[in-house]
Amino acid sequence: MLGQFLDRTISRIVSVTAAVAILGSAAWFVWAFMSERAVTEWLDARAAEGWLVNHEDLSVTGYPFDFRTKLVAVELGDPATNVVWTLPELTLEQQAFRPDHVRAIWPEAQSLSSPVERLTIEAASMTSVLDLQPGSRFALDVSDTVLANVMVTSDAGWRMALPEGQLSMIRQEGQDARYDVDFTARDLAPPVPTRRQLDPGGILPETIETLAYSAAMEFDRPWDLRAIEDRRPQITALDLREMNAVWGGLILRAAGELTVDAAGLPEGVLSVRAENWREMVAMAVRADLLPEQMRGTIEGLLGVVAGLSGDPEVIDAELTFSDGRTFLGPLPVGPAPRLTLR
């Protein structure tokens, strides 16, 4: 009796296991087919809108626990911006039990071409982890991109290096289009021609030691597929927790809150601290950001502001944006910038 019972139990376990395996396999192949078709239909839709769309191969592998979607020899060109994105391959990895969690593995080299120049982007490592909302045109919940040993080379004759960087974007709980955005970069090497123009005496280090940005940013709509298909979401509010740049003895920090209108003009106040600001003005003149004939006037005005802080080499003041104009402390310094994403 015991032997018969064990035989029947084992038989049932084998049958159930076989049924689960068959159903699991069927589900994997159905999802793989749907994934491949979704990518194909999206590319076909872009081509129908006049985009440049080329790719040599599209496949989904990873059975039985993963979905690995791989595009080979991809070329996408947006007619609205005339920017063409070219990459030898792009791999998107998903776990079978969490298809909304995507890991994008970028190639070692890719390029962006515009009517102005062609940029070649090389990286020892570039990966992005995304949490998406499949039912909302893949609206973004979380994005985290880690960069290592990135080199950007332009056919205009310059290159820029970034040994280490990270960019994250996390949708705030209960919000549709408000995100916590953080970016850090270490030892950024600006293009040599730019560095020589800004610092002809070679006083500053070859690399910008620190760039850090942390803010809550609100947009006019969520970041989803429409950001590629139609237009980029535009900033409507900015709560800047920290902006910090350190380049040798030049230190610039800012924090504050802004609202942004439909034309991209900010309203609000940022607290700004600039150390060794006179050299910053000189760099702006050398970069043609300020006309030479205005240098004396600008330095005189900023000297007044610095005097209010008690240290003539440090500006510690409020940067105010109002009615399309910018004020540093009580002094008008020019038109307000337009905060638009293209």
Helix (H) or strand (E) holding 198: helix 192-198
pLDDT at residue 35, as a whole number? 73
Under 8 Å between Cβ of 188 and 161: yes
Under 8 Å between Cβ of 119 and 154: yes
Please tell me the distance from the alpha carbon of residue 230 to that of residue 89, in angstroms, as a whole number: 24
pLDDT at residue 38, as a whole number? 80
Radius of gyration of the chain (CA): 26
pLDDT at residue 229, as a whole number? 87
Pick left, alpha or beta for residue 188 (phi over 0 → left; psi -120 to 50 → alpha; otherwise beta).
beta
pLDDT at residue 33, as a whole number? 58
Please tell me the distance from the alpha carbon of residue 202 to that of residue 186, in angstroms, as a whole number: 20
pLDDT at residue 6, as a whole number? 44
Torsion of CA 283, 285, 287, 289, to 10 degrees: 120
CB under 8 Å, gap of 24 or more: what pairs does 181-185 form?
181/213, 181/214, 181/215, 181/216, 181/217, 182/213, 182/214, 182/215, 183/211, 183/212, 183/213, 183/214, 184/210, 184/211, 184/212, 184/213, 185/210, 185/211, 185/212
How much is the pTM? Answer: 0.86
Under 8 Å between Cβ of 82 and 92: no
Under 8 Å between Cβ of 288 and 281: no
Please tell me the distance from the alpha carbon of residue 87 to that of residue 111, in angstroms, as a whole number: 6
- Rounded mean pLDDT of 176-198? 92
pLDDT at residue 29, as a whole number? 56
Q: Which of 13-27, 115-129, 319-333 has the largest mean confidence? A: 115-129
Of the two residues 280 and 254, the one the predictor is more confident about is: 254
Of the two residues 109 and 94, the one the predictor is more confident about is: 109
Query: With 60 as the cut, is the pLDDT of residue 311 above it?
Result: yes
Comparing 14-23, 67-76, 249-258, the range with the smallest average pLDDT is 14-23
What share of the chain has pLDDT > 90, as a percent? 57
Comparing 30-34, 245-249, 295-299, the range with the smallest average pLDDT is 30-34
pLDDT at residue 195, as a whole number? 87
- Rounded mean pLDDT of 11-16? 43
Under 8 Å between Cβ of 248 and 203: yes
What does 33-91 look like in DSSP terms, one character per residue? HHHHHHHHHHHHHHHHTT-EEE-SEEEEE-TTTEEEEEEEEEEEEETTTTEEEEEEEEE
Query: With 90 as the cut, is the pLDDT of residue 5 above it?
Result: no
Q: Per the structure block, which two tokens stand in for 32?
A: 């793989």
Closest listed residue to residue 53, CA positions, set 82, 79, 83, 74: 74
Of the two residues 229 and 142, the one the predictor is more confident about is: 142
What does 179-190 look like in DSSP terms, one character per residue? EEEEEEEEEEB-
Question: 66: which strand partners?
Answer: 95
Query: With 90 as the cut, is the pLDDT of residue 194 above it?
Result: no
- Rounded mean pLDDT of 304-327? 89
Comparing 8-12, 37-41, 159-163, the range with the smallest average pLDDT is 8-12
Show the DSSP H helices in 88-187 as ranges: none
Q: 175: how many CB neighbours lie within 10 A of its CB?
A: 12
